[in-house]
Amino acid sequence: MIDEGGNQLGIMTPFEALKVARGKGLDLVEVSPTAAPPVCRIINYGKYLYQLNKRQREARKHQKSIELKEVKFRPRTGERDYETKRNRILQFLEEGDKVKATIMFRGREMAHRDLGWKMMQRLVDEVAEHGLLETRPKQEGPNLSAVIAPKKPPGKGGPPHRPASPHPAPAVRPAAPPAVVAPSAPADPPVPAEPAKS
């Protein structure tokens, strides 16, 4: 049993716990039914629900929703326009959004679809460092389209990227080989002294 201030009141029977909660004009809520014994808390249940909803709204507000952006090309899009649109795709990918690249064919352009396919292949190759091809290029009526998804940031699934240290590690010199010591010759046994003559 835990009171409204977070203090433990000890183990009580359900009747005693309800009596304490009603005496304070609050509610008795079972917060951990699987514990042995179950854990109950004395709280204002309406206020608790309000704060819970408020926290969930705040969490949703800070979440980034992935959007699908579309960038349209024509088979005869000029080089400057192509580069501008490609840079826009790179910006969307860096912001974490998916991009649908569409090449639109109209009238006689339908007879030269190979130009559109070459442009799409060039685009996919140029954004490969920032995005992965989620849907391969396909012809949908008069339009050729592909979906490119942003690459996952490092740290999810792979080893974390560690920046290089500004100070290079000191070079390690190999240890000198141990000096070979020649075994010393055994010392000559001591010569017994001759007895003195008198």
Question: Using CA atoms, how far apart are residues 19 and 12, in angstroms rounded to an integer?
Answer: 10
Q: From 150, 174, 190, give the residue that closes a domain.
A: 150
Check whether residue 80 and residue 21 sit in a common domain: no
Predicted pLDDT of residue 57 = 86
Check whether residue 32 and residue 86 sit in a common domain: no
Check whether residue 86 and residue 143 sit in a common domain: yes
CATH number of the domain to which 131 belongs: 3.30.110.10
Q: How many domains is the chain built from?
A: 2
Encode the chain (198 residues) as per-residue pLDDT tens digits.
888 877 888 888 888 888 888 888 888 888 888 888 888 888 888 888 888 888 888 887 776 667 788 899 998 888 999 999 999 999 998 888 899 999 999 888 888 888 888 999 999 999 888 888 888 888 888 889 999 998 875 444 444 444 444 444 444 444 444 444 444 445 555 555 555 554
Residue 119 lies in a domain: yes
Number of H helices, E strands in the chain: 4, 6
Question: Using CA atoms, how far apart are residues 162 and 68, in angstroms rounded to an integer?
Answer: 32
Check whether residue 72 and residue 145 sit in a common domain: yes
Question: Using CA atoms, how far apart are residues 69 and 96, in angstroms rounded to an integer?
Answer: 11
Residue 170 lies in a domain: no
Residue 31 lies in a domain: yes
Residue 184 lies in a domain: no
Identify the domain containing residue 20 by its residue range: 14-62
Q: From 113, 135, 150, give the residue that closes a domain.
A: 150
Check whether residue 75 and residue 140 sit in a common domain: yes
Q: What's the distance, Cα to Cα, between the start and end of the chain in Å?
A: 111
Predicted pLDDT of residue 147 = 92
From the list 124, 130, 121, 145, the residue with the least C-alpha distance to 73 is 145
Check whether residue 57 and residue 115 sit in a common domain: no
CATH number of the domain to which 47 belongs: 3.10.20.80
- Calculate ∠ Cα 56-58-61, nearest 5°: 110
The conformation of residue 8, written as its DSSP 8-state character, comes to B
Check whether residue 25 and residue 77 sit in a common domain: no
Q: List Cβ neighbours of 77 (8 Å cut-off, separation of 6 or more).
A: 85, 119
From the list 91, 92, 88, 116, the residue with the least C-alpha distance to 102 is 116
Residue 45 lies in a domain: yes
Contact 76, 109 (CB under 8 A): yes
Q: Decide: helix, strand or coil at residue 118.
A: helix
Model pTM greater than 0.75? no
